Amino acid sequence: MGAVSIRITVNGETHELRVEPNRLLINVLREDLGLTGTKYGCGIGQCGGCTVLVDGKETLSCLTLAAAVDGSEITTIEGVAHRDGTLDPLQEAFLEQSAIQCGYCTPGMVIMGKALLQRNPSATERDIREHIRGNICRCTGYSSIVKAILSCAQASSPT
């Protein structure tokens, strides 16, 4: 099968690419664009390590064909921090709460947290646990990750 042309905007930068119809988004991000913050874990949609935002929606890039996101806006973990390198408040919260150990799950967790807080700025602990239940962390026991996301939810709630 021949390659197809796609145009995607990743972290605010537009790319015109030729991809094989069966090429996965995760491979385009990591190999073609060098955005290795998105992690390859299971490859079968069960760990959440490869989560990115596609048009604002959490998407498993290991299960998504690059050709299927032609015309989309994609945010990877590299696009979460500000352009001057300042970390996003949620990333700061992960550091403050020691929610990072090996770090392999962290990009997916941060992306999931960002998406949740955008939709529900006053998410509760239960909302957060429910939201990240498809993202596996083998190190932290999840409490510190939940606390990090919750601290941003509370910070953005009306007092």
Shortest distance in whole angstroms from residue 16 CB to ligand FES: 25
Phi-psi region of 85 (alpha: psi -120 to 50; beta: other; left: phi over 0): left
Shortest distance in whole angstroms from residue 72 CB to ligand FES: 18
For ligand FES, the closer of residues 62 and 67 by Cβ is 62
Shortest distance in whole angstroms from residue 59 CB to ligand FES: 10
For ligand FES, the closer of residues 105 and 115 by Cβ is 105
Phi-psi region of 128 (alpha: psi -120 to 50; beta: other; left: phi over 0): alpha
Q: Are 121 and 156 in contact (CB under 8 A)?
A: yes
Q: Which of 106, 103, 105, 109 is nearest to 131 (CA)?
A: 109
For ligand FES, the closer of residues 111 and 117 by Cβ is 111
Cα–Cα distances (Å) from 146 to 15, 36, 46, 143, 151, in that order, read 34, 24, 19, 5, 9
Question: Which residue ranges make up the site for ligand FES (CB under 6 A)?
Answer: 40-43, 45-50, 60, 62, 100-105, 137-140
For ligand FES, the closer of residues 48 and 79 by Cβ is 48
Shortest distance in whole angstroms from residue 130 CB to ligand FES: 18
Which residues are bridge partners to 75 per DSSP? Answer: 53
